[in-house]
Structure 1
Amino acid sequence: MPPLMSPEADSLVGLPLTRRQRDHRGRLQLSYWLRTASGAEEVLIDGESAVAFLRESDRERAASLVADLRGCTLRPLALNSLSHEPVCGLYADSLADWHEALSRLQQAGIGLMEEDIRPVDRYLIERGIFAGARLTHRDGKPALARDPFIPSLRLLSLDIETTLRADRILSIALQCGEEEVVLFNGEIPPAAGIIPCAGERALLVALMDQMRRMNPDLLIGWNVIGFDLRVLEQRARALGIRLCLGRDDQPLRVEQSQTGRWFARLNGRVVLDGIDTLKGATWQFERYSLEFVARELLGRGKLIHDPDDRGEEIQRLYREEPEALARYNLEDCRLVTEIFEKAELVPYLLERARLTGLALDKVGGSSQAFDNLYLPRLHRAGFVAPEYASGQGDLEVPGGFVMESRPGLYRHVLVLDFKSLYPSIIRSFQIDPLGLALGTRGDAPPEALVPGFHHAIFDRRHALLPGIIERLWGARDAAKREGNSALSQAIKIQMNACYGVLGSRVCRFFDQRLSGSITLRGHQILQQTAEHIEATYGHTVIYGDTDSVFVWLGDDWPDRDTDAYGERLAAELNHWWREQLRQRFDIDSALELQYEAHYSRFLMPRMRHSEKGSKKRYAGLKRQSDGNEAMVFRGLESVRTDWTPLAREFQQALYDCIFHDRPWRFMLQQRVRAVFAGDCDEDLVYRRRIRQPLDAYTRNRPPHVRAAQQLEDERRRQGLPPAYRVGDSIAYVITVNGPEPVELLRSPIDYQHYVDKQLLPVADTILPFIGESFAQLVAPQIDLF
């Protein structure tokens, strides 16, 4: 499909799916594939330059270093750095000259600003193109301008099945809308939607044909880059085939970064991995296998009933029941598609793109999103960003405030929660990189200044970030009213990220005076809120955490109209804070305390082996708005994936009994008997994630690593590829001979370990508060075994 270059194509409007930069005939060329209302077109932009900034005082020395690079020029600009120094611009007509110029200047120790921003990204950022784009022409040349257009996107779910060593592809399943196809390597009885292929070469050729015919915008799958596309590329290379799956004639390229993340280069189509996309949208699961996530979200899983042994089962199906393998292969595609639909992942990504300008396949990207929102405003104000992460970094900056808790088993605890506390602090106290630069310069009138921490002072007249936060805040409130959960979630993530990036060295605006002025102000607000509640209302604040305070009304609270009381308490505290900020700082308060929950019973446990209260760990019986109750656990075994199902289910049952004042002793003793009798064996499995390569665990080899190593050693003896990658989970059991993987369980289970390390810690978190001891209750039971 030829790129659009003619003036009559001005009406073209689309969403940039992929973007690429390259040198073409010695000049920089930018490529954008736009998804329009009727298809996809490539737009090529020529005549742009790569840009970076440096101090005007370094211009003469820099000019001598790049004098022989004909495509490079240095120009004075009406811009300043945040250090109040004039800057000039470095412009390059080609990427080759650009990279060479940057290398020379960096080796010479010349400081550069914004040099890491890719020209293909800067072009969109400076034009405010976050999502939709309209093709226009300037001086007869194609150009892009901002447009609100968002198209409907066509998804294709892909899944492959291979031999155990992944050295041969057995089948490829494709699902695109209502159309489903399975490409099968070998003979298979005729059936609708199944295409037999005479070998792998024919299989890959058929895949390219189907991709062109279905013509998707998004290619989705489960570990689709790190496995499916990687194997497809490897097999194509081994067979000497140019595997072209994009919208041009360029072959698929799969690459791995230094951090271990896999990337797929597929022009004109976006590749989305289900696992990374779920995590990016803040979905959390105990495990991220397709089987587990599908059962959690959809209520069903794979067609092979024993997913832990599916490798061998797939080989058997290929040999003996090819139609069953095709069904299994296709069902995996359906599961991924339905997970994307259920979790609203594509709407979320589109809203995120429209909000922040991040590409659809960008994983994470909080720092880049901040740049997209902040840099154009900063440039219009006459400034450029500082050298990367060059702000103050030697200060003591704490994290979120965590109050010393008062351990106990309580009745009637209210939780009051500050809505988006850190963004509201940024808005209220005018915290901002440009505001900091101008506030600390020393020439602003006192009435324009707002104090921060660590000698930070902010000039409220020029602060940019509070306005960005305010617009996001309003947009989120509107999204909530309209029921647009995807947009609301995207905005929430971005608002919180505006704080996080300022305290991270991966952000060019990193400066601990900024992050410290946010977190330390948060500490102050939580502490003063607790003090005011206790002094004015006579209630005890038993805990506070980041943006919440836990208020004990008293075990003898009459419990009449408690919800209304909580709402009134929050409203009065908000009024108090408005008065405080007006009197002390002459600023408008954006702080908004909300009544969040009423716990009829609430446990604040002690730290293990200590009388001190724990932090970020509690449980309670929460009153719902409809009058029902719900058990809530935070940080305890019931929600910790590194504890066994035995511990989690036992905690749920024990706490439910105690919170409702029901008998519990028999249940506890019966559970111990069941463990020793072998009736709970399925609930004794630990699952832990492998966070680095196994051979990197040298000094300390925890149980899950030892179990994983046993399995890998066995697979190596059988000539099979490794079973685990970094990030995968290992399932293992503690036996009398130590940890063993579930797949190689040979020794008797150590039941005493599970009583001592799983049941006892759970029970003794709550029993001492009612004068009981797990050991005394179960000692007679243990003696029986």
Structure 2
Amino acid sequence: MTQAVYPGFILSRQQINNNGQLHLCYWVKTEVGPVRVLIENEMPVFFIRERDVQTAKTLLRSDGQVVDIRKTALKHFDCEQVYACYFTTTQKLFLAKRLLNEHVLLYEDDIRHCDRFLMERYIKGAAWIKGNIRQREGYIELTNAKLKAHNDYVPNLVMLSLDIECSAEGVLFSVGLVNHEVEVVIMVGESQDCSGYIIWVRDEAELLQTLMEKITEFDPDVLIGWNVIEFDCVVLAERAEALGIELMLGRGQGLIHVYKGNYVRVTIPGRVVIDGIDTLKNATYHFPSFRLAEVAKKVLGKEKLLQQDNRLAEIIRQFNEDKLSLAAYNLQDCYLVLEIFEKLSLLDFAVARTRLTGLELERMGGSVAAFTNLYLPLLHRSGFIAPNLGEHGLNFDSPGGYVMESTPGLHKNVIVLDFKSLYPSIIRTFMIDPLSLIIGLANPHGAIPGFNGGVFSRKEHHLPNLIKSLSHARQLAKSKDDLMLSQAIKIIMNSFYGVLGSTGCRFYDPRLSSSITLRGHEIMQRTKSWIEDEGFDVIYGDTDSTFVRLPCEWEREKCNEIGGSLMNLINRKWQMHCNNHFDLDSHLEIEFETLYSPFFLPTIRGAQTGSKKRYVGQVNNNGNNELIFKGMETVRSDWTKIAQRYQRDIFEALFKNEGLLSITEQYVAAIRSGEVDCMLLYSKRLGQNLEMYKKNVPPHVKAARSHQKVNDKISYKKGAMVEYFITSSGPSVSFQGMEIDYEHYIEKQIIPILKMLPGSEDVLFKLTDQGCFFF
């Protein structure tokens, strides 16, 4: 039989029990097309302590179960020897788990073998595949296969955007499929003279059959959509099951499998399903709403054909009365998703993330799983297995990032010094690591002191080296202008602290997380002290940023010069401090990038003390002044557009030393005249269904309830965005036939912003004297 070797990228992974043996099945995208890789006769495993071996054997034998229990070179964190329990199928492993769980502690029993197989070989998406070739219809099959990590291969994947339209009960109306080569809507109904992209079918069964044919014909690697995993795929699978149809959407006539647990997992052999919402969130994009209509408007400047929150009634009407409009709507949604993916390079981000972590392409979130994937094989090579959750018995809270008291007011020149990747740098500098902690506790002499009893080995650790390699990879990605890879690396590195501080991670230990955050506190406080020793005032600090006030008479060039000097000084001091006090090299790096001129720190409303995480500053970019708002009303979606615009204009006036009175008068007059009614909308999302609000009923709920009463086709559900006005009769979705309460907007949206500014008392006095305000 002919053998071959291919580079490729893993699209899907499955575990198959076949004739009493476990086989692993990986579908791989290669330059010669899709390849189905079969790894035969694998043995899934979990671990037990030496003290429990006899108990496990007795229990399993009494139940008639056969298991291969072997001594290993691995230890528990408390240094007790562990044994591996091997099984021929996953079913036998699950039966043993069920029997042993109440009597024996099991370790690493939650790791799927198809994941472990790749993890232990450091395979992260890309791999060399080798095996015996069998040509199948539409793909190659490799048997007796072997896999090896390939660090450089980047796949060229074919996307297909999928979107369904259906009734509230999930009865299918149509399915849209779109990419640059394909434009199809499969619609249930009588054939009509229309554009050629519609395929008319008699019923749902024919729709599903046609969908299978088209997916096979178009043969995509990746299906994309909006909430496509938890909605579209679930509905398709459930309708197929209800109709007694085997839904073969995978390569090689593979069936779609939907698993529902803490989250929905969809497996389609040979293909990947990637959701746009999850990918945006994981790539750290921020939108007031992640609804397709809102994201498309922000990213593409395009509107959906149906925009109302309660679109279902109109979709049903169109299906019954105007199928051509429904097809156009279905098709456009597919295009919007495709264009968002392409414009924001979301598939590139997903591929980069997989190349770094080894997680499946579609697996979003999963910071704990990503950490485990990266760390566990390294830990095994150091002779240890992973502990179970909370075995150390410690459960105290670690403090958050350090936030200094602010000096409120208007400042002429403020520079910001930011520590670059502070928490990863702390981990790397002070050797903070799960293995390092265990070795350090066992051998504290000469170890690096942490906090809350944590001490860390100088030599035995993995996380510092992992961060070092990721940092180097990020610099390389930046030099090649690979923005998605750079962003993926940044997100992964910054997730390490959160993972170590998460009780859902098997490596959680508060001595780890507190040794990171409390070291961060020390670094911020000492940095502040060093800057003040140079004669400068530190007016604010937040986690990794230090705000330094410089003399108001200095020009921009002088401020920039001092910013660079302070940056170099602080970096030298940290290098000396770490060397002198800990005999360590410092990887802490502070950067000077921002000069605000001017800069404003507000007080807490109704108090004299400075607020935190709120400020406004002006930066100069290539001769153009730009306002930067942090935590202020202008960047908050729960304030009206009139408040956001007023705040921007009033700060521009303040920074130009222009009068605040005239601009406030203009806004008050514009509100009272009715010329800015369109800017008086409040927007707030429902945190729960309307009927769940009992005692405290906020304005947006009142507005939604009153609107629903007079519009029986409207139904507000949890997560829906409610837009409303404040009228003389209370909150209302529409003000038709009502009077807008203009004084409410002046009192609640204009005055609070004005009051935070210096000199506002004089402005308020003059406005009151002129009859503009009435209290």
Report the TM-score when normalising by structure 1: 0.91
Instruction: Describe the shift of the 1:330–1:473 C-alpha distance in structure 2 as closer, same or farther (beyond 3 A).
Output: same
For 1:655 and 1:85, locate their aligned partners in 2 and report how far apart those are by CA, in whole Å.
Answer: 64
- Once the two structures are superposed, the pairs formed by residues 78-89 of structure 1 within 5 Å of their partners are 78-89=73-84
Which stretch of the first structure deviates more once superposed, 577-586 or 286-295? 286-295
Instruction: Describe the shift of the 1:57–1:231 C-alpha distance in structure 2 as closer, same or farther (beyond 3 A).
Output: closer
* AA aligned opposite 1:28: L
8 Å Cα contact 2:12-2:267 kept in structure 1? no
In structure 1, which of residues 41, 44, 49 is the aligned counterpart of residue 43 of structure 2? 49
1:384 maps onto 2:405 in alignment = no
> Across the two proteins, how many residue pairs are aligned to each other?
763
In structure 1, which of residues 708, 721, 732 is the aligned counterpart of residue 724 of structure 2? 732
- Once the two structures are superposed, the pairs formed by residues 758-773 of structure 1 within 5 Å of their partners are 758-768=749-759, 772=762
Unaligned runs of 5+ in 2: 133-141
In structure 1, which of residues 621, 637, 648 is the aligned counterpart of residue 644 of structure 2? 648
The equivalent residue for 1:4 is none
The equivalent residue for 1:132 is 126
The equivalent residue for 1:491 is 489
8 Å Cα contact 1:602-1:619 kept in structure 2? yes
For 2:382 and 2:695, locate their aligned partners in 1 and report how far apart those are by CA, in whole Å.
Answer: 53
Instruction: Describe the shift of the 1:548–1:201 C-alpha distance in structure 2 as closer, same or farther (beyond 3 A).
Output: same
For 1:519 and 1:278, locate their aligned partners in 2 and report how far apart those are by CA, in whole Å.
Answer: 28
Question: Helix, strand or coil: the match of 1:66?
Answer: helix
- Once the two structures are superposed, the pairs formed by residues 297-316 of structure 1 within 5 Å of their partners are 297-304=299-306, 306-308=307-309, 311=312, 313-314=314-315
Identity of aligned residues (%): 42
1:275 maps onto 2:277 in alignment = yes
Question: Helix, strand or coil: the match of 1:543?
Answer: strand
- Once the two structures are superposed, the pairs formed by residues 446-457 of structure 1 within 5 Å of their partners are 446=446, 449-457=447-455
- Once the two structures are superposed, the pairs formed by residues 506-655 of structure 1 within 5 Å of their partners are 506-535=504-533, 537-624=534-621, 626-655=622-651
8 Å Cα contact 1:704-1:730 kept in structure 2? yes
For 2:89 and 2:118, locate their aligned partners in 1 and report how far apart those are by CA, in whole Å.
Answer: 18
8 Å Cα contact 1:155-1:177 kept in structure 2? no
* AA aligned opposite 1:501: V
* AA aligned opposite 2:731: P
For 1:776 and 1:83, locate their aligned partners in 2 and report how far apart those are by CA, in whole Å.
Answer: 73
- Once the two structures are superposed, the pairs formed by residues 105-254 of structure 1 within 5 Å of their partners are 105-108=100-103, 110-136=104-130, 141-148=144-151, 149-163=153-167, 165=168, 168-186=171-189, 187-254=191-258
8 Å Cα contact 1:176-1:214 kept in structure 2? no
For 2:576 and 2:322, locate their aligned partners in 1 and report how far apart those are by CA, in whole Å.
Answer: 75
* AA aligned opposite 2:248: C
8 Å Cα contact 1:674-1:680 kept in structure 2? yes
8 Å Cα contact 1:391-1:510 kept in structure 2? no
* AA aligned opposite 1:734: I
Q: Offset at 1:782? A: 4.8
Instruction: Describe the shift of the 1:212–1:56 C-alpha distance in structure 2 as closer, same or farther (beyond 3 A).
Output: same
For 2:423 and 2:456, locate their aligned partners in 1 and report how far apart those are by CA, in whole Å.
Answer: 16
* AA aligned opposite 1:569: L
For 1:414 and 1:656, locate their aligned partners in 2 and report how far apart those are by CA, in whole Å.
Answer: 19
Q: CA RMSD in A?
A: 2.6
The equivalent residue for 2:87 is 92
The equivalent residue for 1:3 is none
In structure 2, which of residues 64, 67, 70 is the aligned counterpart of residue 75 of structure 1? 70
Q: Offset at 1:703? A: 3.1
8 Å Cα contact 2:550-2:559 kept in structure 1? no
Q: Offset at 1:246? A: 2.2
8 Å Cα contact 1:412-1:553 kept in structure 2? yes
Which stretch of the first structure deviates more once superposed, 217-226 or 514-523? 217-226
The equivalent residue for 2:328 is 327
1:777 maps onto 2:767 in alignment = yes
The equivalent residue for 2:469 is 471
* AA aligned opposite 1:564: E
Question: Helix, strand or coil: the match of 2:14?
Answer: strand
Instruction: Describe the shift of the 1:630–1:76 C-alpha distance in structure 2 as closer, same or farther (beyond 3 A).
Output: same
For 1:735 and 1:9, locate their aligned partners in 2 and report how far apart those are by CA, in whole Å.
Answer: 76
For 2:701 and 2:755, locate their aligned partners in 1 and report how far apart those are by CA, in whole Å.
Answer: 29
For 1:695 and 1:27, locate their aligned partners in 2 and report how far apart those are by CA, in whole Å.
Answer: 52
Which stretch of the first structure deviates more once superposed, 15-24 or 557-566? 557-566
Which stretch of the first structure deviates more once superposed, 388-397 or 265-274? 388-397
Q: Offset at 1:133? A: 2.2
Q: Offset at 1:484? A: 0.6
The equivalent residue for 2:664 is 668
The equivalent residue for 2:139 is none
Instruction: Describe the shift of the 1:42–1:633 C-alpha distance in structure 2 as closer, same or farther (beyond 3 A).
Output: same
Unaligned runs of 5+ in 1: 1-6
For 2:768 and 2:212, locate their aligned partners in 1 and report how far apart those are by CA, in whole Å.
Answer: 65
For 1:783 and 1:210, locate their aligned partners in 2 and report how far apart those are by CA, in whole Å.
Answer: 66
Question: Helix, strand or coil: the match of 1:10?
Answer: strand
Alignment deviations for residues 211-253 of structure 1 (CA, whole Å, 9 cap, x no partner) = 1100111111112233333333344344443332222445444
Q: Offset at 1:627? A: 2.6
Instruction: Describe the shift of the 1:239–1:395 C-alpha distance in structure 2 as closer, same or farther (beyond 3 A).
Output: closer
8 Å Cα contact 1:476-1:492 kept in structure 2? yes
Which stretch of the first structure deviates more once superposed, 513-522 or 731-740? 731-740
For 2:41 and 2:284, locate their aligned partners in 1 and report how far apart those are by CA, in whole Å.
Answer: 40
Instruction: Describe the shift of the 1:372–1:238 C-alpha distance in structure 2 as closer, same or farther (beyond 3 A).
Output: closer
The equivalent residue for 2:135 is none
Instruction: Describe the shift of the 1:127–1:559 C-alpha distance in structure 2 as closer, same or farther (beyond 3 A).
Output: closer
8 Å Cα contact 1:390-1:510 kept in structure 2? no
8 Å Cα contact 1:405-1:615 kept in structure 2? yes
Q: Offset at 1:181? A: 1.5
8 Å Cα contact 1:29-1:47 kept in structure 2? yes
For 1:745 and 1:381, locate their aligned partners in 2 and report how far apart those are by CA, in whole Å.
Answer: 71
For 1:111 and 1:746, locate their aligned partners in 2 and report how far apart those are by CA, in whole Å.
Answer: 69
In structure 2, which of residues 91, 96, 103 is the aligned counterpart of residue 101 of structure 1? 96
Question: Helix, strand or coil: the match of 1:621?
Answer: strand
Q: Offset at 1:638? A: 0.8
Which stretch of the first structure deviates more once superposed, 286-295 or 167-176? 167-176
Instruction: Describe the shift of the 1:679–1:50 C-alpha distance in structure 2 as closer, same or farther (beyond 3 A).
Output: same
For 1:672 and 1:256, locate their aligned partners in 2 and report how far apart those are by CA, in whole Å.
Answer: 54
* AA aligned opposite 1:687: S
For 2:603 and 2:555, locate their aligned partners in 1 and report how far apart those are by CA, in whole Å.
Answer: 28
Question: Helix, strand or coil: the match of 1:34?
Answer: strand
* AA aligned opposite 1:567: G
Which stretch of the first structure deviates more once superposed, 139-148 or 450-459? 139-148
The equivalent residue for 1:752 is 743
* AA aligned opposite 2:370: A
8 Å Cα contact 1:767-1:774 kept in structure 2? no
For 2:74 and 2:258, locate their aligned partners in 1 and report how far apart those are by CA, in whole Å.
Answer: 40
8 Å Cα contact 1:12-1:134 kept in structure 2? yes
For 1:29 and 1:775, locate their aligned partners in 2 and report how far apart those are by CA, in whole Å.
Answer: 80
For 1:711 and 1:59, locate their aligned partners in 2 and report how far apart those are by CA, in whole Å.
Answer: 66
* AA aligned opposite 1:637: E
For 1:389 and 1:704, locate their aligned partners in 2 and report how far apart those are by CA, in whole Å.
Answer: 42
Q: Offset at 1:171? A: 2.9
* AA aligned opposite 2:468: E
For 1:27 and 1:548, locate their aligned partners in 2 and report how far apart those are by CA, in whole Å.
Answer: 56
For 1:674 and 1:314, locate their aligned partners in 2 and report how far apart those are by CA, in whole Å.
Answer: 39
In structure 2, which of residues 664, 679, 682 is the aligned counterpart of residue 683 of structure 1? 679
Report the TM-score when normalising by structure 2: 0.93
Q: Offset at 1:548? A: 0.5
Alignment deviations for residues 356-410 of structure 1 (CA, whole Å, 9 cap, x no partner) = 1111111211111111111111111111111124345333421011011111111
